[in-house]
């Protein structure tokens, strides 16, 4: 009969600098941000007794003379140029309603979708009747969706990553992360939108499951998510079984090694 025993162990504490991706000014409601009257009040702040005070818990962001506080836990607020991962919730006339982790559902127009084969033409009544064949409600095909806080997704030039482990990830700025097998033929080469309905091999499913657990444990330890941190965490998790990655002691061990490698990379 298999037995599992867990005993406390003294771990060497990390240095103060480990795990700090960037030096941010964190505030809680009621904290004074500045007493300088030359700044403009932005979201998450209010004026009180000639001082700029935070109204939410988060990080202070400054753009020229504008100061705002970005909340650590909040619904996604869309910005121009963001990469967004969504899930279809309803099919309507010439549009889909999409859940994007924001306060309201987003809208994807039929005219904004790439047709199969990359056809460039006006959308017809036949296309409207076939909308549910293109994108159906709550479908998740050949991949895994992980939902995290948008504040933990690091903004980069690209959010589409083909990892060397054999899987690809799309890191949505809205906190939705899509993990799927790396396709042999790129979508842009085939032209247009195509749904891959082929069975996913066992090896690919294991890689996807390990990546999913790595992302979950990074989120649990409040580590920023981007391609390097996910890849380092994946490599640190290889000595352990996939199901063991969510155990507290193994989680701390893997995240500690990941943070140390990230710190060494930063120099």
95, pLDDT greater than 80:
yes
Averaged confidence pLDDT in the chain? 85
Residue 43, CA distances (Å) to 22, 63, 73, 78, 252 in order: 22, 12, 14, 14, 35
Whether residue 211 is predicted with pLDDT greater than 90 in this model: the reply is yes
Does residue 20 register a pLDDT over 60? no
* 26-71 is classed CATH 2.40.50.100: yes
The full set of domain ranges for the chain reads: 26-71, 140-266
Residue 45 has pLDDT above 90, yes or no: yes
Instruction: State mean pLDDT over 220-233.
Output: 94
**Collapsed DSSP state (helix, strand, coil) of residue 66:** strand
Q: At which residue do the structure tokens 């999913």 appear?
A: 212
The 10s digit of each residue's pLDDT in 100-132 is: 999 899 999 988 887 776 666 778 888 888 888
Any idea which of 4-8, 74-78, 167-171 has the lowest mean pLDDT? 4-8
**Which one, of 131, 140, 123, lies nearest residue 86 by Cα?**
140
Nearest-angstrom CA–CA distance, 12 and 19:
15
Q: Taking the mean position of all CA atoms in its chain, how far away is CA 101?
A: 11
How many Å apart are CA 185 and CA 189, to the nearest integer? 7
- Split at pLDDT 50, 70, 90, the class of 7 is low
């Amino acid at each position: 009969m298999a037995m599992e025993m867990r005993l406390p162990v003294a771990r060497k504490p990390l240095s103060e600098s480990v795990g700090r991706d960037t030096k941010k000014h964190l505030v809680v409601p009621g904290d004074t941000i500045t007493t300088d009257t030359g700044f403009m009040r932005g979201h998450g702040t209010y004026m009180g007794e000639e001082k700029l005070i935070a109204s939410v818990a988060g990080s202070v962001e400054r753009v020229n003379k504008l100061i705002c506080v970005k909340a650590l836990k909040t619904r996604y607020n869309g910005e121009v140029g963001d990469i967004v991962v969504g899930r279809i919730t309803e099919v309507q006339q010439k549009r889909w309603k999409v859940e994007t982790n924001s306060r309201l559902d987003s809208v994807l127009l039929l005219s904004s979708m790439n047709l199969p084969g990359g056809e460039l033409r006006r959308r017809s009544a036949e296309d409207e009747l076939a909308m549910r064949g293109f994108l159906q409600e709550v479908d998740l095909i050949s991949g895994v969706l992980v939902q995290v806080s948008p504040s933990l997704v690091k903004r980069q030039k690209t959010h589409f990553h083909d990892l060397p482990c054999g899987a690809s990830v799309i890191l949505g700025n809205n906190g939705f992360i899509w993990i799927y097998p790396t396709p042999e033929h790129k979508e842009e080469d085939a032209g247009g939108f195509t749904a891959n309905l082929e069975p996913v091999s066992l090896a690919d499913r294991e890689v996807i499951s390990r990546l999913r657990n790595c992302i979950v444990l990074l989120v649990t330890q409040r580590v920023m998510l981007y391609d390097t941190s996910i890849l380092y965490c994946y490599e640190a998790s290889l000595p352990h079984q996939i199901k063991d990655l969510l155990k507290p002691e193994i989680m701390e061990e893997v995240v500690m090694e990941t943070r140390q490698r990230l710190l060494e990379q930063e120099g």
